[in-house]
Chain A
Amino acid sequence: MNHLNRQHGQVLMIIFASLFLGGGIATGVFSSGKSIKSLQKTARSMTLEESRRDAVLAILDRWQEIAEPPQQSLKSHTRALLDLIGNQGSTQAQFDELLLRHRAALLEAENELLPLRDELRSTLDQQEWARLFR
């Protein structure tokens, strides 16, 4: 029960930040419920031919490379957003510009990540896919 409450709390926290900070395919936890590190660990422990395991790990590495910049910019955009909130003279246009910039970065990453999901799917069969994301 406590475990469920913790999970629920964690999801709520993710949800709240997503109000301003995007959320979607570019944040691994948000889209699959598992971090890239955790997926890599599972992939390494799966019974796969070496070439397919290497292919899966390479896809996950690329996923991390693409998803990393928007997650890093999340920190600087958070600071910028809090600065805007702290300034009584901030305008709607300043908020819009910041939010638009962040959304564009996430969308760009998403456009690169979705084909990677297809590539991952074509590397695994249905059972292996289920084991990876279980």
Chain B
Amino acid sequence: MYRVLCLAGLAAVSLLLASCVERKISAADQLEAGFAQLRSTARSVVTDPARLDTYLEHSHSLESVLRSFERDATGFVQQLRSAFTDYDTEQDRLRNLTAEFRDRQRRAQHRFVELHLAMARTVTPEEWQSLSKQEQAILAALFDSTTEALR
């Protein structure tokens, strides 16, 4: 029964994300849909209520880190594109812009990894098998979309 739940959860998140990519739904919407499915699976497979609460709390924080970074990065992309294509922009201005972004990026990365590891510590190896695959599927879909968008 446990295995069936895991496979069903993974299949659901994969189909959901594939349909998001197919319909060119924004990364933010993909993220929301993916995390909702991840939490739904967690409710099915994590049997201990205290551990489930902790896992759900961390997953909300993780989603929030990504959303917050998106707001930061949106501003950065606009600034960088505008500065880069402006004939009068000097090299130092571009260096400063990217250095500033990298600082924010480093902080977001650190927090992301911290929360991911906390989620990993909260669940048993058996529960992890199913949940980590869904987390991988959420990120893989986002990265695939991006690689395509950069071509």
Closest A residue by C-beta to B109: A99
Closest A residue by C-beta to B114: A92
Task: Give the distance to chain A from B9, nearest Cβ to Cβ, in Å.
Answer: 15
Q: How many residues of A are in contact with the other chain, CB < 8 A?
A: 54
Which residues in A have their C-beta under 8 angstroms from that of B77?
A: 11, 14-15, 30
- Using a CB–CB distance below 8 Å, which chain B residues touch chain A? 24-28, 31, 66, 69-70, 73-74, 77, 80-81, 84-85, 87, 91, 94-95, 98, 101-102, 105-106, 108-109, 112-114, 116-117, 120, 125, 128, 132-133, 135-136, 139-140, 142-143, 145-147, 149-151
Query: B142 contacts which of A17, A24, A87 (Cβ < 8 Å)?
Result: A17
> Are A82 and B139 within 8 A (Cβ)?
yes
Indicate if A90 sits at the interface (CB-CB under 8 A): yes
Query: A103 contacts which of B85, B102, B125 (Cβ < 8 Å)?
Result: B102
Task: Give the distance to chain A from B3, nearest Cβ to Cβ, in Å.
Answer: 17
* A117–B120 CA distance with the chains assembled, in angstroms: 44
* A8–B29 CA distance with the chains assembled, in angstroms: 12
Which residues in B have their C-beta under 8 angstroms from that of A12?
A: 26-28, 70, 74
Contact with B along A1-20 (1 / 0, CB 8 A): 00001101111111111111
> Are B70 and A25 within 8 A (Cβ)?
no
> Are B149 and A29 within 8 A (Cβ)?
yes
> Are B85 and A133 within 8 A (Cβ)?
yes
Name the residue among B28, B105, B140 with the largest chain A CB count within 10 angstroms: B105
Task: Give the distance to chain B from A13, nearest Cβ to Cβ, in Å.
Answer: 4
* A33–B143 CA distance with the chains assembled, in angstroms: 18
Which residues in A have their C-beta under 8 angstroms from that of B109?
A: 19-20, 95, 99
Closest B residue by C-beta to A94: B113
Closest A residue by C-beta to B151: A35
Query: A92 contacts which of B25, B27, B113 (Cβ < 8 Å)?
Result: B113
* A89–B139 CA distance with the chains assembled, in angstroms: 19
> Are A24 and B136 within 8 A (Cβ)?
no
* A27–B98 CA distance with the chains assembled, in angstroms: 12
> Are B91 and A13 within 8 A (Cβ)?
no
**16 CB < 8 A contacts A-B:** A9-B24, A12-B70, A13-B149, A14-B150, A15-B74, A18-B73, A18-B105, A20-B109, A28-B150, A30-B80, A30-B150, A35-B151, A78-B143, A82-B143, A85-B139, A99-B109
